[in-house]
Amino acid sequence: MKEKYGDISVTILDGYVGQVEIQRGPNNFFDHPLIKDLADCFEDIDANPDVRAIVLCSEGKHFCAGANFSSSARAQQQERSADKPNPLYTEAVRLFRSKTPIVAAIQGAAVGGGFGLAVMADFRVICPNTRMTANFVKLGFTPGFGLTHTLPRVIGTQNANLLFYTGRRINGETAHEWGLGDIYTDNDNVRDAAIELAREIAENAPLAVVSVRSQMRGDLADGVKAATDIENAEQFRLQKTADHKEGVKAVSERRPGNFTGS
């Protein structure tokens, strides 16, 4: 398999572990090409007998600080229509259909769709400086990346509602208490701890691990597909509002939004 997929680097480590690193530091903002490259990478790993577990990590300060809100990326979003699939979510569903167990090493921020990417993994290793937020309402629109389906499965409906309705940010300690983080470690040990967990998974019979993962995740990918269809339509509708424009501006200026319901 390839060593590079766009801004993603793959390293095969001892113990049948594949380290997949997003290299867009320090913030590692995502867009459609990045998620497509990640899905291509995961598909290739599924076919590689030398990799039995994945460590998903990022260079720089943050795991993934959200979507790329550059003018060019926003222009591409405006060109799509509500009744057509969002290419970004098509690739996101491909991620959920991958067969190899994934351990995410979450340093710094996992924001919005970056939070969705973290929740996509089977396990998350977090630390004191981890910050997680589904801040979509602060941007004037609704959750994406399948979070309306995946997050309640991990932390329960009420905790998911609390994050969705308020857009609040939680720290690593709270994330661990709620079950969002499976291993809580020091800031400097996140990746090493993720690799250790991946090796513990990979030392087992690979066909058995893939089988039990398939049973435990069940129809997760189909559920994400259904959720992203709704999320896409709602996001498309709300992105046309004045509140969304104000929300993007307010978040970039680090202030509360002055929303009018229009």
Cβ atoms of 17 and 29 closer than 8 Å: no
Cβ atoms of 98 and 111 closer than 8 Å: no
Q: Is 178 helix (H, G, I), strand (E, B) or coil?
A: helix
Chain-centroid distance, C-alpha 133: 11
Helical H runs in 179-219?
190-202, 206-217
What is the residue extent of each domain of the chain? Answer: 4-188+201-206
Q: What is the edge-to-edge ordering of all strands in the sheet holding 183-184?
A: 4-5, 8-13, 17-22, 53-58, 102-105, 123-126, 183-184
Per-residue pLDDT 10s for the chain (262 aa) are 789 999 999 999 999 999 999 999 999 999 999 999 999 999 999 999 999 999 999 999 999 999 986 644 454 555 556 668 899 999 999 999 999 999 999 999 999 999 999 999 999 999 999 999 999 999 999 999 999 999 999 999 999 999 999 999 999 999 999 999 999 999 999 999 999 999 999 999 999 999 999 999 999 999 999 999 999 999 999 999 999 999 999 998 999 999 999 9
CATH fold of 4-188+201-206: 2-enoyl-CoA Hydratase; Chain A, domain 1 (3.90.226)
Q: What angle do CA 140, 145, 151 make, to 5 degrees?
A: 95
